[in-house]
Amino acid sequence: MPEVEVEIVFAVPEKQLLQILIVESGATVADVIALSGVQKTFPDYRLDTMAVGIWGYEVDRDRAVKAGDRIEIYRPLKLDPREARRRLALSGRTMGNAEPG
């Protein structure tokens, strides 16, 4: 069976993973996640409950991947970006001049 090259990414504030994998044609998003070992790299996170996507679009885990796909695991946001901007505006700041962290 032919093989395809895909990427998988996951990040938390302290660490990130970007890995290129060669998988068999017909492999699913779930297969790529399992093959990547990302859960071992981030044992404190329940990756199986997080949304996943390809190039910024949420997809089901049973979707077959194709060459060039970038599989992304989305962790929940601690604060909605609109709420973060609102809080900054109330304090006279903007996203451009907000202090990190």
- Quick check: 39 pLDDT over 80? yes
Overall average pLDDT of the 1-12 stretch: 92
Nearest to 75 by CA among 32, 17, 19, 34: 17
6, 48, 70, 89, 90 from 31: Cα distances, Å: 12, 12, 13, 43, 45
Q: Which residue has the higher pLDDT, 55 or 101?
A: 55
**Predicted model pTM:** 0.75
What's the pLDDT score for residue 13? 83
What's the pLDDT score for residue 92? 76
24, 68, 72 from 98: Cα distances, Å: 45, 35, 27
- Quick check: 77 pLDDT over 90? no
- Quick check: 2 pLDDT over 60? yes
Domains, in order of start, for the chain: 3-97 (3.10.20.30)
Contact predicate 9/75, CB 8 Å: no
12 SS3 class: strand
Joined together, the tokens standing for residue 15 give 């660490």
Q: How confident is the model at residue 59 (pLDDT cuts 50, 70, 90)?
A: very high
